[in-house]
Amino acid sequence: MSARSSFSLVGLAVAFAAFAACSDTNDPTAPVTPVGAAEITTDIVTSRTLFAETTYTLKGFIHVANGATLTIKEGTVIKGDFATTGSSLFIMRGAKIAAVGTAAKPIVFTSSQPVGSRAPGDWGGLILIGNGITNRSCPVDVEGTGTTAGTTTGTNYVVSYCGGATNTDNSGELKYVRVEFAGFAPVLNQELNSFTFAAVGSGTKLSYLQALNGLDDAFEWFGGAVDADHIVAYEALDDGFDMSEGYVGRIQYAIYYKSTVLTPRSGAGSPASDPEGIENDGCNGTGCATDTHNSAPLTIPVIANFTLIGTNDVASSGSAGGFGLMLRRGTGGYYVNGLVARFPRGAFSVRDVATSVRGGSVTTPSLTTSDIAVRNVTLLESPAIVFEAGQQPAYDMTGNAIVSSANTAATTFTAFPATAPTLTTTESAFDWTPGATSVAATGGLATFTGKLATATATASSTGNAVAGTAYVGAAAPGGTKWWAGWTVYAQK
C-alpha cells in the first residue's frame, strides 16, 4: 500500500469518527446534527442518541414513543424552551430512557433562560410512564397533561398511566441527572414536577438525581415499584418527595433542603400552600375504591437515611405546610434512620384514622405486624409530632427511637449556611456529612427486622442494598460525599 493510500484511509477514519461524534441518532445514514445547538420539536418515534457536543432545546411537549429508546450521553445539556410554556420530555409506556452521566459529567435538564434570569416553571420537567400497578381505576391521566386536544406531535395531549399490571416493568435508567427550574401547573392541583414517575416499575434504575428549584414537587411517584438512591431536592416550591396510589418502592439516601419561596415564572403556576419534606398518601380522588383510603395496593414505601431541612419559618411554609413528613389518607411505609430539622409546624404528622390503622392504632407500631412505622429519627429545631385530636394515639417517642435533640442544623453538618442562602450561595455551602461527635453520627437502626427486613431483602436494580445503618440521615460520618461534584445550588 502506498503512503498516499494509507493517508487517505486514515483521513477517512477521522472523518467517520467526527461524523459519529456529531450524529444524534442510532442510524449512521441519518443527517448529522451539527456541533453547537439543535431543537427537538416533534415526538421521538424511533431510537435516538443525544451527544454532549450539542446543546438541545425541547420546544414543546416531546414524547418518546412505545418501542423507542432515548439515549443521552454523559455531559449532555437539554434545555426546556421558555417561549413554549411547559415544554417537557415524556418517556411513554413501552419506551425507555438511557441517561447515564457521571459525577464529573452529569446530564443536565435546565431552563433555556440565561443564568441569572431563570425561575421555577421555566419549562415542564421529565416524566416517565410505566406499566406498574396503581390503586386507581381508569381513566387516570398524568397531572398537567391534556391542555391540547388530539395527539398532534409535540403538543400537550392527554397521557394516561392507569391499568398497568407489571411492577417489574423497565423504563430505562437515570444516573447523575439534574433537573433544574422545571414545573408546569396549567390548573390548580394538576402539575408536572421536576421528576414525575407514573406507574414506573422496579426494572428501572434511578440513582444520583437532583431536582433544583422546581415549581411543584421535586420527585413524585404515582404507584409502581421503582427504587431510587442518592437523590437531592433543593428549593422545591412544593414537596421534596411525594408518593401515593400504591407506590411500594424503596428509597435510600435522600436530601431535601428548603430555605425560601422562590418566585416562579409568570403563567406556569403558583407556589404550593402546603410544602412538606415528604408527603405520602394512599388513594384519594376519582378511581379509588369505595372505601377510598383502603384502595389496594396500599402505599407502603421504604424510606431510609433521609435528611429533611425546612425553612424554620411559618410564613414561608404556606397556609398548611411546614411538616417534615406528612403521612395521611391511609398511607403506610417505613421511615427509618432520618434526620428532620427546621420544620415550624412539626417534624411529622400522622394525619388520620386510616393512616393510624396501618400501624395497628398503637403508640409503638410493630415492625413485625405493622404496615407503617417511623423509627430511629432525630429531630432538630422542630416541634416533635402533630396528631389530629381523636384520630389516633400519639407515638411513644422512646419506643420508636424518635429523639428530639437540642442540637441545631448548623452544628450537625460539616458545612451548612449560617444564614439563609442568597443569590451568591453555591453548592460549596453544603456538606451533609456529620462530624464524628455529631448527633447524626449515632442513633440509627442498624439491623432491619420483621416486615421492614422482608421489604428490603433484595437489592435494587441499581445494586443498592437497602439496609440499616448506625447513623441517621443521608450521609455517613467520615463516609463518601456522594452529592459532591454533580449537584449545584443556585436561585436563578
pLDDT tens-digit readout, 376-387: 999 999 887 776
- pLDDT for 189: 74
Q: Is the pLDDT score of 216 beyond 70?
A: yes
From 125-134, 233-242, 318-327, 415-424, the region with the lowest mean pLDDT: 318-327
Of the pLDDT bands very low, low, confident and very high (cuts 50, 70, 90), residue 34 is low
pTM of the model: 0.92
Mean pLDDT of 31-38: 70
For the stretch 46-89, pLDDT in tens is 999 999 999 999 999 999 999 999 999 999 999 999 999 999 99
Q: Is the pLDDT score of 14 beyond 50?
A: no
Grid cell in block for residue 269: 403556576
Grid cell in block for residue 203: 426494572
Whose cell is 414561608? That residue is 316
Q: CA 156 to CA 161: how far, in whole Å?
A: 15
- pLDDT for 387: 67
Whose cell is 407503617? That residue is 372
Q: Is the pLDDT score of 219 beyond 70?
A: yes
144 and 192 in contact (C-beta within 8 Å)?
yes
Q: CA 252 to CA 105: how far, in whole Å?
A: 23
The closest alpha carbon to 259, from 200, 190, 212, belongs to 212
Mean pLDDT of 405-409: 92
Q: Is the pLDDT score of 22 beyond 80?
A: no
CA distances from 281 to 132, 333, 351, 384, 471 (A): 17, 10, 10, 21, 27
Query: Across 392-430, where does the E strand assignment appear?
Result: 402-405, 413-415
Grid cell in block for residue 54: 450539542
Q: CA 263 to CA 391: how far, in whole Å?
A: 36
CA distances from 131 to 169, 219, 369 (A): 6, 19, 29
Do β-strands 48-50 and 205-212 pair in parallel, antiparallel, or remain unpaired? unpaired
Residue 242, C-beta contacts closer than 8 angstroms, at least 6 positions apart: 193, 217, 219, 220, 221, 278, 279, 280
Q: CA 214 to CA 125: how far, in whole Å?
A: 9
321 and 360 in contact (C-beta within 8 Å)?
no
**In the 8-state DSSP scheme, what is residue 182?**
-
Widest pairwise Cα distance in the chain: 92
Please calculate the CA angle 320-321-325 and round it to the nearest 5 degrees: 130
- pLDDT for 321: 80
**In the 8-state DSSP scheme, what is residue 454?**
H
- Domains of the chain from N-terminus onward: 22-455 (2.160.20)
- pLDDT for 19: 41
From 190-199, 312-321, 350-359, the region with the lowest mean pLDDT: 312-321
Whose cell is 431541612? That residue is 309
* The one-letter amino acid at 294: N
Mean pLDDT of 141-159: 95
Of the pLDDT bands very low, low, confident and very high (cuts 50, 70, 90), residue 365 is very high
- pLDDT for 372: 97
Grid cell in block for residue 455: 421489604
Mean pLDDT of 396-419: 93
Query: How many CA atoms, within 13 angstroms, populate the side-chain half-sphere of residue 107?
Result: 22
Q: What share of the chain is helix, strand, coil (3-state, %, to 5)?
A: 10, 30, 60
